[in-house]
Amino acid sequence: MRNFIALLGVGAIASVIPATPALAAGSIVVSGDLCAGFVPNPDGTVGAFLTTSDSHQVVKGNKLTLTCHFDIPAGLEPAKGTKADGVECVKRIDSVDYSTFDTRMVASPGGRATGTCRWSNLPPSALSVR
C-alpha cells in the first residue's frame, strides 16, 4: 500500500495511539479502547485517516474478533463503497503487539467506515476482553 501524509490525522493519533510504522503503511491500529483506520480509495490504497473509540470485541474459543466503527468527516466520504482487505491490524495488549492480516476496512458514501480484525490461536492472556 502506498504511504500517505495525513498531518492532521497523525497529530490527532499521536496523543492516543503509540507510533507505529504500520500505521503509515495503512493499517488498523488498536490501543485500549481507541482504533485508528483509514478510508480505502477505490483502488484499495490508503485514503483519509480516521480514529474512533466505537469498537467491540468478541472472544470465542481461542479466537478474537475486533470491529471498529468510524464516522467519516464530511467531504472525505468515498463516492461509492470502497474496501481494502488484508491490511495489517495491530492490537496492543499488556504492552505486547498482536498482528493479523485477516482484516477488512470498508467505507460507504453515507459517511461510515468499519474495520474488522480477526486473530486465531492467541495465548489465553490475550483473550480477556479489554
Inter-residue contact 36 to 113 (CB < 8 Å)? no
Task: Please determine, for residue 16, whether its predicted confidence score (pLDDT) is greater than 50.
Answer: no
Which tens digit of pLDDT belongs to each residue from 65-119?
Answer: 999 999 999 999 999 999 999 999 988 877 888 899 999 999 999 999 999 999 9
Q: Say yes or no to pLDDT of 128 above 70.
A: no
Most confident of 21-30, 49-58, 64-73, 114-123: 64-73
- What's at 41, amino acid-wise? N
Query: String of b and e for 101-124 (b: at least 16 CB within 10 Å)?
Result: eebbbbbeeebebbbebbbeebee
User: Average pLDDT, whole number, for the chain?
Assistant: 77
How many angstroms separate the CA atoms of 39 and 33, rounded?
Answer: 20
Q: Where are the domains of the chain?
A: 7-122
State residue 116's pLDDT score.
94
